[in-house]
Amino acid sequence: MADAMTTSGAAAPTQPAKTFALPGDPLRPPDTFVDVRTQELQINMGPQHPSTHGVLRLAIWVDGEIVTRADPDIGYLHRCAEKIGESVSCIQYVPYTDRYDYLAAMNNNLGYCLAVEKVAEVEVPERAQYIRTIAVELNRIASHLVAIGTYGLDLGAFTPFFYAFREREEILRLLEWICGARLTYNFIRIGGVMRDTPAGWVEDIRKFLDLFETRLDEFNDLLTHNHIFVARTANVGVLSIEEAVRYGLTGPNLRGSGLRYDLRREQPYLLYDRFQFDIPVGTGIKGQVGDCWDRYWVRLLEMRESVRIVRQALDQLPTGGEIMAKNVRHLAFKSKAGEGYLGIENPRGELGYYLISDGGANSYRSRIRAPSFCNLSILESMLPGTMLADAVAIIGSIDIVLGEVDR
Amino acid sequence: MDSLVPFLEGAWGWATSSAFTFSMILSVLGVVAFISVWAMFAVWLERKASADFQVRLGPNRVGGRFGLLQTLADGLKLAFKEDLIPRDSDKFLFAVAPAVAFCGAFAAFAALPFTPAITALDINLGVFFIVAVTAIGVIGVLMAGWSSNNKWSLYGAMREAAQLISYEIPSALALMVPVLVTGSLNLKEIVGFQCLPSDGVLDKEGLVYLSDHGWLAFYSPWTFVAFIVYYIASLAECKRAPFDLPEAESELVSGFHTEYSGMRFSFFFLEEYGMMFVVSAVAALVFLGGWQPLPFISLNMGGFLGNLFFLGVFLAKSVFLLWVQIWLRWTLPRMRVDQVMVMGYKYLIPISLFALLMMAVYEHWGVRYLPGLF
Amino acid sequence: MTVAEAFEQLKKDGQAAGVELFPGPKDAALVVTRERVKAVLRHLRDARPFACDLLVLVTGTHMTEKKDAKGVLVREAGFEVIWHLRSVQHRSILAVKCKLPTADPTVDSVADLWPAANWHERETWDLVGIRFTGHPDLRRILLPEGWEGHPLRKDYAYPKEFHGINLEVDAPWPTP
Amino acid sequence: MGLFERSLPDVYLTRLADLAVNWGRSSSIWPMTFGIACCAIEMMAVGAATFDMDRFGAGAFRATPRQADLMIVAGTVNAKMAHVVKRLYDQMPEPKYVMAMGACTVGGGPYWKHGYNVVKGIDRFVPVDVHVPGCPPRPEAIIEGVRFLQRKIMAKRVLADGAPQKPDFTGISISPGTVGILDPTIKVTSTTAGPAAASAAPLAGAKA
């Protein structure tokens, strides 16, 4: 709502109407003191606003350009995820997980499948695990590319967005090649993956990775070290580790504050314990540790680490072998009773699924721990005191996906 | 216009008053036609250039391979779009604001000399007139932002007002440096100063001669500083990135013209591109030798063909400066409002003041580059 | 630290009153009574051996009564709230569970212990209808104000329309 | 057009004027920057480097509804969002067009049955000009949808009154048979849109 809610919206005056009288005003008694008071303005940002990354609505109270209070209003994309999780069988539910964090659909598939495999006790073949790793890490790169590109857009730099999408299209081509979809893959299935690698796929990934590493430097030239970009992001939205942990932030937002915490390292799932990779953290190169620039920088570095992981996975990919576990079809009818929580490292943080199964085909309760939901909750405490333009920079640096916030 | 009136009087025997009226109408029509064609071209250039920066193709379906008619289609569509005035707006101000905003850019065209012969209005206070009249645009923007009854619009308008007032000072101060050197506020005379022959013979016979002063941008280090300051300040004046805060899309939706649609919106469009031309043209005239193609070598041409050539050179320089504006827009992120103010008040104004002061000192000593060298 | 170790540690700290160990078919958890849950959670956050500083998830579940083929009760009716806590320092995850009666699904809010709980509790109230006492601002978060019912209850009936918007599954196709 | 809208006699001159106006409108469809869900990412992709909707003059995304011509409803609309979408539609000036992008906006998509909160098709509260199915539709599908819309606009009457014209969809369908589903009387003559056919398309379509 660009304008409707602001033009006619309820701008409840938070202070009494201003009184304004000059000392020489003949209409006023001479002892009336001059009382010039400003009034807080309530403005409405979203759900249709270019920089709210979807349909986030923020009610913002501003004093001039300074934000004094912010109240995020979510739910404009609530799609009944958890109810559907109870209403369809777990095999049917996999495509729905694509649509929550649609920028990292592979990761969502993986999180759900791992959780179901944990509850239903399914062993996944090794080759499938490698293919999963490759797909997930490629998807992580694609997701971070969108995050960086749209972050540039938020700050008024249009061109990096197009460069980011150019690289992303290459990744989408690779993922489409293996599963036939550009955005909602439904590729990682319970017990394995949908299909084996097509001929030439592995070689094309290698070619792409070589090209991509050189092109990552373009972002450094265009955005990272740009003076205006640094001025807009460094020392803006500084987040300490304690604050981040208290608000339950995970992923690049937490690592941007300087805490080396990555579930791929803390609680290795898939085969992450077989790969060498670093966990980049914010170090405050341009400003303080934990500012917007650090969060951006962590994402940029993570893409390089993902490239490393994909390379190693491609090297170790066993030739031949099963890609699907035996006997998973029965999950469409009955499962083992039990409950379990499993968290994985999504590009946005800890994506967790908590499933309760009573032995039927549908899970009795399927709860999603959406990283964006938790990350977004910090806005309320971060925005007050910043400027309006900084608010946009902070929202962009938190990198939310509304599909996941609202589910 | 000034050359047209005696021509009509002499050749066709018109009365002075009717000749004056006729030539005035002709000038206005000429400026309107030019500004429309120019805006169409500039928008097309912007779309194609941005596409080029962004590894895209840009418009290539509408009007041939290069999408040349794209802007015409846009204009046609905007003209036939519903004219929407919000219910709660101040209807009179809302309707008038685009015209007022357009006035500033439009009036500035009157004083621009395109070639030695093509000038709508050759006034002695050309520089002063342009600086003064381009500032009118902000009133229109303020009216638009206020009358829309939309908070985003109001924000955009207030930012524009603050920004324009702050950047008017350095841009005017920067223009004072060449005025100090040439001793004239007349744009034609400023260009004439830049192609003044080195041997002092004013009525040249040959086609090519060396000029003494050359383009003012290279006249002295301080004029060069003034040129850079003027160009940066002019970016802010015509709301181009990185100073596009009044319409900052990712912050203020569309800034002051959030509520505007159709034809009224296209007036703001015209104003922006008209302003872009005006500032580029002023920079080209004052600092880059106007219609003279080379810095220190001047051409002595007249007649129809000579004027056509000079017009081409002048437009080419303006288009180049415009292209630089487009280039900057699609490369740089947007600045924050306090950073814009800091840049204006803490850097540009002191620098331009210092340049003016040093230029005065240099002129007093009669040196151009460094004391003792020239 | 596994849940069993945590239970032992709680005993050692003298905080084990009202705490039981739920061995679970898959994930073990500490089951705490409604009265003690906030104190236990506070202890888990503050005590050095636990240091559960990251609240991962608050889950509310509506449980309906279920009997197996022989008529033995396998699931009691009621509500369940599960807190998943991570310790960044110890790299561990703990689950704390609390059972609530159907008639009065109310439990103490932990939004003052972890600000992260604020939105989780609002969501649980919104979708499951569990009331958190002491929450600073307990209102709907995902569904619009004025929505009726809590969708994740097992007896929830899908609405036919909301504020003039038709939400029926089989509505007639609109004709222009 | 207000005053003269579809009120003048249907003669050559008014038809010519209609052609000019329709050409302007169809060649410059400015979409609104308005993404809701997954489809929004594909909508961004269609504006980005590889697909570049700006080629058709439809790439100038406007952030405010006042300056937009086309509302691409890209993503699931739920009960909370429906009022916002309706309001945005009302804020756009005439002539305005709506593209229902993706299965969710066409008919509820995967949330049709258990999505207690999801509106099963935006037809229920705004008029839709083009439905683009897919979950999400590929960028090519969006481009095809825009070109369908262009043809629909070309067939509209602006000044002249008279019976509505039948849109000419020849030559724009990427997949053969797509057109036939909409209108079985139309035969698909060319199934691929080459560059030559595409550049001549807007004017060719007006002859019908």
pLDDT digits (tens, 9 = 90+) for B315-348: 899 899 989 989 988 888 888 888 888 888 999 9
- Give A338→chain C minimum CA distance, Å: 5
* B28 phi, psi to nearest 5 deg: -65, -45
Band (D181; pLDDT cuts 50, 70, 90): very low
In the predicted model, what is the mean pLDDT of residues B15-43?
A: 80
CA A203 vs. chain centroid, Å, equals: 29
Task: Please indicate if any CB of chain D lies within 8 Å of the CB of C143.
Answer: yes
Q: Say whether pLDDT at D177 is over 70.
A: no
| Residues in C touching A404 (Cβ below 8 Å) | none
pLDDT digits (tens, 9 = 90+) for A293-302: 999 999 999 9
CB contacts < 8 A (A, D): 114
Residues 6+ apart with CB under 8 A from B90: B146, B147, B149
- Give C114→chain A minimum CA distance, Å: 5
In CATH, what number is assigned to the domain containing residue D149? 3.40.50.12280
Bridge partners, A343 (sequence order)? A352
Mean pLDDT for chain A?
Answer: 84
Report the C-alpha gap between A94 and A97 in whole angstroms: 5
Structural domain harbouring D106 = 2-205
- Give C15→chain A minimum CA distance, Å: 23
User: Lowest mean pLDDT: which of A342-346, B124-128, B302-306?
Assistant: B302-306
Mean pLDDT for chain C?
Answer: 85
Give start and end residues of each alpha helix (H) in chain D: 12-27, 38-47, 79-91, 103-107, 139-154, 178-182, 195-205
Q: How many CA atoms lie within 13 A of B51 on its CB side?
A: 24
Best A155, A161, A296, A394 residue to mutate vs chain B (most B CBs within 10 Å): A155
Closest chain D residue to C141 measured between Cα atoms? Answer: D80
Instruction: Give the neighbours of chain C: at least 3 Cβ pairs within 8 Å.
Output: A, D
Report the C-alpha gap between D2 and D181 in whole angstroms: 34
Which residue from D99, D91, D89, D190 is spatially nearest to D153, judged by alpha carbons?
D99
| Angle separating helix axes D38-47 and A159-179, nearest 10 degrees | 120
Q: Say whether pLDDT at D86 is over 50.
A: yes
| Residues in B touching A49 (Cβ below 8 Å) | 253
Query: 3-state class of B150 per DSSP?
Result: coil
A245·C54 Cβ contact <8 A: yes
pLDDT at site A4: 40
Q: How many CA atoms lie within 13 A of A228 on its CB side?
A: 21
Report the C-alpha gap between B208 and B191 in whole angstroms: 16
Amino acid at B109: F
Binning chain C into helix, strand and coil, the percentages to the nearest 5 are 20, 30, 50
Band (A3; pLDDT cuts 50, 70, 90): very low
Q: Which residue has the tokens 């000429």?
A: B30
For D109-132, give one letter per residue: b (16+ CB within 10 A) or e. bbbeebbbbbbbbbbbbbebbbbb
B55·A162 Cβ contact <8 A: yes
Q: Which CATH topology does C3-143 take?
A: Beta Polymerase; domain 2 (3.30.460)
In the predicted model, what is the mean pLDDT of residues B223-229?
A: 90
pLDDT at site A16: 46
Bridge partners, A70 (sequence order)? A60
In the predicted model, what is the mean pLDDT of residues B244-269?
A: 83
Task: Please indicate if any CB of chain D lies within 8 Å of the CB of B80.
Answer: yes
- Give C98→chain A minimum CA distance, Å: 15
Q: Say whether pLDDT at B95 is over 80.
A: yes
Which residue from A274, A390, A403 is spatially nearest to A346, judged by alpha carbons?
A403
pLDDT digits (tens, 9 = 90+) for D18-27: 888 888 888 8
Which residue from D87, D73, D88 is spatially nearest to D118, judged by alpha carbons?
D73
Closest CB from B54, B56, B251 relative to A51? B251
Mean pLDDT for chain B?
Answer: 82
Q: Which CATH class is domain A81-406?
A: mainly alpha
User: Lowest mean pLDDT: which of A232-241, D135-144, D160-169, D195-204?
Assistant: D195-204
Q: Say whether pLDDT at B59 is over 70.
A: yes
pLDDT at site B351: 92
Token readout for D194 is 């080459």
Residue A371 and residue A147 in contact, taking contact as beta carbons nearer than 8 Å: no
Query: 3-state class of A210 per DSSP?
Result: helix
Cis peptide before C105 (omega within 30 of 0): no
Mean pLDDT for chain D?
Answer: 76
Taking a contact as any Cβ pair under 8 Å apart, which residues of chain A between 122 and 161 contact chain D? 146, 161
Q: Taking the C-alpha atoms of C164, C170, C172 and C174 in order, what is their torsion angle to the nearest 10 degrees?
A: 60
Query: Of the ranges A114-123, B115-124, B348-357, D166-175, which is most confident?
Result: B348-357
Residues in chain D: 208
Closest chain D residue to A142 measured between Cα atoms? Answer: D41
Closest chain C residue to A56 measured between Cα atoms? Answer: C142
Closest CB from B50, B153, B334 relative to A156? B334
Pairing verdict, β D130-132 and D97-101:
parallel
Amino acid at A180: G
pLDDT at site A307: 92
Domain ranges of chain C: 3-143
Token readout for D106 is 């066409």
Report the C-alpha gap between A36 and D119 in whole angstroms: 49
In the predicted model, what is the mean pLDDT of residues D67-93?
A: 89
Indicate whether this model's pTM tops 0.95: no
Task: Please indicate if any CB of chain D lies within 8 Å of the CB of C163.
Answer: yes
ipTM of the complex: 0.85
Token readout for B283 is 């920079």
CA distances to A141, A232, A292, B312 from A396, in Å: 17, 12, 9, 45
Query: 3-state class of D169 per DSSP?
Result: coil
C165·D83 Cβ contact <8 A: yes
C116·A352 Cβ contact <8 A: no
Q: Which residue has the higher pLDDT, A302 or A5?
A: A302
Q: Where in chain A is the domain with CATH 1.10.645.10?
A: 81-406
Which residue from A88, A83, A139, A87 is spatially nearest to A111, judged by alpha carbons?
A139
pLDDT at site B3: 60
pLDDT digits (tens, 9 = 90+) for A9-47: 334 444 444 445 455 555 555 555 556 667 788 888 878
Report the C-alpha gap between B231 and A382 in whole angstroms: 37
A77·D81 Cβ contact <8 A: yes
**Using the 8-state DSSP alphabet, how is residue B281 labeled?**
H
Number of domains composing chain D: 1
Residue D139 and residue D148 in contact, taking contact as beta carbons nearer than 8 Å: no
Report the C-alpha gap between B221 and B293 in whole angstroms: 21
Report the C-alpha gap between B138 and A296 in whole angstroms: 36
